[in-house]
Amino acid sequence: MFANIPSQYLVIGSTIMAIVMGSIIMIARMRSQKTPVNPKKILIPPVAMSTGAFMFIFEEFRIGPVQIIEAVIIGVIFSVVLIYTTKFEIREQDIYIKQSKAFFFILIGILIGRVLLKVFLSGTFDVGELAGMFWTLAFAMLWPWRIAMFIQYKKLKQKLSK
């Protein structure tokens, strides 16, 4: 699939795409703090992202058990940071994500970390394997974070109901 494209172009292109996508996600995340949260807004992103698992149908994206474990561990570490920096607040009988100045810098730090890891690992892994590893990392980061958000949301919703 990528055989005719020099690997440095694939690394550069995928890095640019990661930066663009990360920037879009950060902008969307910052805007979402201005509107009330609901279960759909919390749970749809990881469900939608799960469709990316279809990439593993293709051989060049498949990764071994060791790479899966490594990606999941790093993703869970990133998710813990996000879990501890994502807080909710009640405003006018609605639940909002509490704005945090640190959150923006944490998202930038995660994006820079992912880009640096990608550049560093691009000499060791095939571009397709790297894509599979970073999808796995992102998936392992997103699910625990969103589940923790959902639990926190449900607790606040119960307080509102009383």
Residue keyed to tokens 């561990």: 73
Does this model's pTM top 0.95? no
Query: Is-contact 54 116, C-beta < 8 A?
Result: no
Total residues belonging to the chain: 162
Q: Which two tokens stand for residue 120?
A: 């560093």
Domains of the chain, by residue range, sit at: 7-161
Angle between helices 127-161 and 7-32 (to 10 degrees): 10
pLDDT tier at 32, thresholds 50, 70, 90: confident
Mean pLDDT along residues 141-159: 95
- Closest C-alpha to 58, from 8, 112, 111, 127: 127
pLDDT in tens, 61-95: 999 999 999 999 999 998 998 898 888 998 888 99
